[in-house]
């Protein structure tokens, strides 16, 4: 005869007991290894390291038969002669903090490489963007600023860059500096309600749940709405790549054995398309999703209002649970830990690992002195001092070991089982090429400020309006046949009438691209800025054509504050409208120029759970808008 069902408190107690047992087991294993090392013991038990890079491309990222013994750093007795060799190291957004601290640790000690001192300079960019730039030779950077070392957060990007034309610059493999498992993260109450905190699902079960609009209601929580699965863009971020790999693997029958033939299979492709319908929208980095989850809680609600689960790296889960978020992936905001922490879930059929491979670029702008300095910096990252930084900053070291404090705060498993090698390079490239076909289609209206200030001239010699037109023209390349895209603009004269209004209807861009571009080219700056009225009017219009199988959105670009000749819609009225349509429409906002009303634009995007983008330096509008459209 069975007893009463366990309460939430019972289940939490059971989870804590399991976590303590896992931690004790890990400590015993590590302690035993340390003892063996001290006495020069014989054979070692196998220790799981991070997963392999693209088909085993990184030799350092495989299962090790014995633990790595980290050597001590051996700095020089004194700095070499000046001028110092400048070593530019390019990281991803995800691992930037760790890489910056490794650079600081290296620079803090005297270095003499080839008779010269060394100055490591850390920079960052999104992995997908860096792969594209590497293929083009980093054309937007002066030669002295181009990287000599690239550390994407996963080895897959090496193959992506090489396939794009960087084979002469990017080596096939690199040296892993540390690892972060790519997991399914859920707010604790949701993980508890579905039981995945105690009994991890398969990826197929995750994807099936994401398609069940009544799942939370059936579990007694209708207030959580439908199951909202967050994914980053696979052409930008490693977590997005991993999400696509498991989607294809689940559809083909094996996450562990994904092949290029599976990606080409039409039945598999259709199943992946169906999986993608559950995505609310894509974002460029994990931080974008977690920022909105925290904002939902800070408004007095729950993270469940924005997401049910999101595929991210462990480091991001640790950051979130200790109160660190970022709106843009670069600027960090530290606050109190959230009331609803995230739980890291490791699906039972395996998970990928961001292995952070460092490669020394074989480019003509990398001197012999820089190559030698790069080798020495990478050597330092593998020392006890370097690996301590890796652990302190939320990563698993080269023995797969997490800091105990990181594991505890992050709700991370100290020793999870199920590491998957990344697919072979041909599979990775095939998935990238297939994404435009399988992604959730968009229904988007570009809403452009056409006030008089858009005639102001930029440093480039263009007017603001001309710069915006160029940026939108480039951004349009992100969309393909099947995406519905339209264009509207707003200004007004002394009569207060909003014009020109809709200039290209929201329709299949595959058929209407020429019409859209002609309408865009014909826009002219007028006078006033009826920002609130325009958002109110077009949000109502767009919400009426809501399609659950599309990402329904407005992309708002504005360079000023609300300004009208006669009273029109107030900010309060507009925000009330946005609250009404927030379950059917996303309004992404882009502040264009230093005079943009940042506070109002953030309020507009936040009211619908969309993201705010900063192009207050108007010369950056092309890059920022390019980042924004990865949400579709």
- What's the chain's average pLDDT? 88
What are the strands, taking DSSP E only, across 337-467? 342-345, 353-354, 357-360, 441-449
CA distance 372 to 114: 7
CB 418 within 8 A of CB 346: yes
Which string of b and e fits 290-316 if b means at least 16 CB within 10 Å? bbbbbbbbeeeebbbbbbbbbbbbbbb
pLDDT band per the 50, 70, 90 thresholds, residue 329: low
pLDDT for the residue numbered 133: 94
Residues 6 or more apart whose CB falls under 8 angstroms from that of 155 comprise 52, 53, 54, 57, 58, 61, 173, 174, 176, 355, 357, 422
The structure tokens 């339209």 sit at 486
- For residue 280, give the H/E element and its range: strand 279-283
User: Mean pLDDT across the stretch 346-351?
Assistant: 96
CA distance 125 to 272: 29
Tell which wins on pLDDT, 196 or 46.
Answer: 196
* Domain parsing of the chain, residue ranges: 46-179+355-401, 180-352+429-433, 440-631
Q: How many CA atoms lie within 13 A of 215 on its CB side?
A: 20
User: Mean pLDDT across the stretch 367-377?
Assistant: 98
The structure tokens 């030779």 sit at 137
Q: In a 3-state reduction of DSSP, which class is residue 191?
A: helix
Residue 73, pLDDT above cutoff 80: yes
CA distances for 167 relative to 162, 164, 172, 355, 428, angstroms:
4, 8, 8, 20, 16
Residue 255, pLDDT above cutoff 50: yes
Rounded to 5 degrees, φ, ψ at 38 are: -65, -35
Q: Do domains 180-352+429-433 and 440-631 have the same CATH topology?
A: no
pLDDT for the residue numbered 301: 82
CATH architecture of residue range(s) 180-352+429-433? 3-Layer(aba) Sandwich (3.40)
pLDDT band per the 50, 70, 90 thresholds, residue 297: confident
Residues 6 or more apart whose CB falls under 8 angstroms from that of 152 comprise 91, 92, 127, 130, 131, 158, 238, 356, 357
CB 282 within 8 A of CB 63: no
| DSSP conformational letter for 10 | H
CA distance 9 to 14: 9
- In this structure, what token pair is assigned to residue 493? 């004269």
- Give which of 234, 291, 325, 331 is closest to 614, Cα–Cα: 331
- Give which of 285, 222, 282, 610 is closest to 447, Cα–Cα: 610
Rounded to 5 degrees, φ, ψ at 557 are: -120, 120
Rounded to 5 degrees, φ, ψ at 179 are: -140, 155
Residue 447, pLDDT above cutoff 70: yes
CB 419 within 8 A of CB 396: no
CA distance 286 to 298: 19
User: Mean pLDDT across the stretch 88-101?
Assistant: 96
CA distances for 237 relative to 143, 229, 448, angstroms:
26, 16, 28
The pairing of strands 229-232 and 279-283 is parallel
CATH architecture of residue range(s) 440-631? 3-Layer(aba) Sandwich (3.40)
CA distance 375 to 358: 10
CA distance 556 to 610: 11
- In this structure, what token pair is assigned to residue 325? 């978020």
CA distances for 95 relative to 111, 234, 356, 394, 480, angstroms:
24, 17, 8, 10, 32
Residue 619, pLDDT above cutoff 70: yes
CA distance 320 to 323: 5
Quick count: other Cβ atoms within 10 Å of Cβ 347?
A: 21
Percent pLDDT > 90 in the chain is: 72
pLDDT for the residue numbered 65: 56
Which range, of 266-275, 288-297, 392-401, 476-485, averages the lowest pLDDT? 288-297
CA distance 605 to 261: 41
- In this structure, what token pair is assigned to residue 466? 């001309």
How far is Cα of residue 395 from the mean position of the Cα atoms in its chain? 17
CA distance 282 to 300: 25
pLDDT for the residue numbered 1: 40
DSSP-H helix ranges across 314-356: 314-321
User: Mean pLDDT across the stretch 456-476?
Assistant: 94
CA distance 98 to 420: 23
| pLDDT tens-digit series, residues 121-155 | 999 998 999 999 999 999 989 999 999 999 999 99
CA distance 311 to 90: 24
| pLDDT tens-digit series, residues 242-253 | 999 999 999 999
CA distance 418 to 137: 37
Q: Is 56 left (phi over 0), alpha (psi -120 to 50) or beta?
A: left
- In this structure, what token pair is assigned to residue 560? 């000023």
Residue 158, pLDDT above cutoff 70: yes
| pLDDT tens-digit series, residues 3-56 | 444 444 444 444 444 444 333 333 333 333 333 333 222 222 233 333 334 443
CA distance 282 to 274: 15
pLDDT for the residue numbered 268: 96
pLDDT for the residue numbered 60: 34
Which range, of 19-28, 390-399, 587-596, averages the lowest pLDDT? 19-28
CA distance 341 to 411: 8
User: Mean pLDDT across the stretch 172-183?
Assistant: 96
CA distance 618 to 339: 38
3-state secondary structure 446-487: EEEECCHHHHCECCCCCEHHHHHHHHHHHHHHHCCCCCEEEE
Tell the CATH topology of 46-179+355-401: D-Maltodextrin-Binding Protein; domain 2 (3.40.190)
């Amino acid at each position: 005869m069975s007893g009463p069902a366990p309460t939430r408190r019972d289940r939490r107690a059971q989870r804590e007991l399991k976590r303590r047992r896992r931690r004790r087991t890990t400590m015993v294993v590590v302690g035993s290894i340390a003892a063996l090392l001290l006495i020069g013991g014989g054979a070692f038990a196998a220790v799981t390291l991070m997963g392999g890079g693209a088909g085993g491309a990184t030799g350092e990222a495989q299962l090790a038969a014995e633990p790595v013994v980290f050597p001590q750093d051996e700095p020089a007795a004194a700095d070499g002669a000046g001028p110092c060799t400048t070593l530019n190291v390019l990281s991803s957004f995800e691992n930037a903090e760790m890489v910056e601290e490794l650079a600081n640790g290296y620079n803090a000690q005297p270095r003499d490489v080839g008779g010269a001192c060394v100055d490591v300079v850390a920079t960052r960019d999104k992995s997908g963007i860096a792969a594209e730039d590497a293929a083009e030779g980093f054309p937007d950077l002066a030669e002295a600023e181009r990287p000599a070392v690239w550390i994407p957060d996963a080895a897959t990007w090496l193959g992506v860059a090489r396939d794009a034309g960087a084979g002469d610059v990017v080596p096939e493999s690199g040296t892993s500096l540390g690892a972060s498992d790519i997991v399914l993260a859920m707010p604790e109450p949701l993980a508890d309600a579905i039981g995945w905190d105690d009994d991890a699902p398969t990826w197929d079960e995750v994807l099936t749940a994401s398609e069940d609009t009544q799942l939370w209601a059936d579990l007694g929580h209708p207030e959580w709405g439908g199951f909202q699965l967050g994914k980053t863009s696979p052409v930008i971020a490693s977590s997005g790549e991993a999400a696509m790999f498991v989607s294809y693997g689940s559809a083909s029958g094996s996450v562990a054995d994904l092949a290029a033939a599976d990606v080409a299979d039409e039945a598999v492709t259709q199943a992946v398309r169906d999986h993608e319908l559950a995505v609310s929208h894509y974002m460029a980095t994990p931080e974008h999703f977690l920022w909105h989850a925290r904002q939902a809680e800070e408004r007095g609600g729950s993270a469940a209002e924005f997401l049910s689960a999101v595929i991210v790296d462990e480091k991001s889960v640790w950051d979130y649970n200790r109160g660190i978020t970022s709106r843009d992936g670069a600027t960090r905001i530290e606050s109190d830990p959230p009331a609803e922490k995230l739980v890291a879930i490791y699906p039972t059929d395996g998970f990928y690992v961001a292995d952070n491979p460092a490669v020394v670029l074989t480019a003509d702008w990398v001197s012999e002195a820089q190559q030698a300095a790069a080798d020495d910096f990478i050597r330092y990252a593998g020392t006890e001092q370097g690996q301590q930084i890796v652990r302190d900053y939320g990563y698993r070291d080269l023995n797969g070991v997490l800091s105990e404090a990181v594991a505890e705060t992050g709700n991370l498993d100290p020793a999870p089982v199920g590491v998957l090698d990344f697919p072979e390079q041909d599979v990775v490239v095939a998935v990238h090429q297939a994404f435009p076909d399988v992604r959730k289609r968009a229904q988007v209206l570009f809403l452009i400020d056409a006030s008089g200030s858009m005639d102001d001239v930029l440093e480039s010699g263009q007017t603001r309006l001309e710069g915006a037109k160029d940026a939108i023209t480039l951004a349009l390349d992100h969309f393909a046949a099947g995406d519905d895209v339209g264009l509207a603009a707003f200004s007004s004269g002394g009569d207060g009438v909003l014009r020109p209004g809709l200039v290209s209807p929201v329709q299949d861009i595959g058929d209407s691209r020429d019409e859209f571009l002609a309408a865009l080219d014909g826009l002219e700056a007028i006078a006033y800025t009826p920002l609130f009225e325009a958002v109110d009017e077009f949000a109502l219009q767009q919400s009426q054509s809501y399609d659950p199988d599309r990402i329904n959105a407005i992309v708002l670009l504005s360079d000023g504050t609300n300004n009208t000749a006669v009273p029109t819609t107030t900010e309060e009225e507009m925000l009330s409208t946005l609250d009404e349509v927030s379950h059917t429409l996303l309004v992404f906002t882009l502040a264009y120029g230093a005079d943009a009303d940042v506070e109002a634009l953030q309020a507009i995007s936040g009211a619908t759970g969309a993201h705010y983008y900063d192009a207050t330096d108007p010369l950056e509008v092309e890059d920022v808008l390019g980042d924004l459209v990865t949400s579709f």
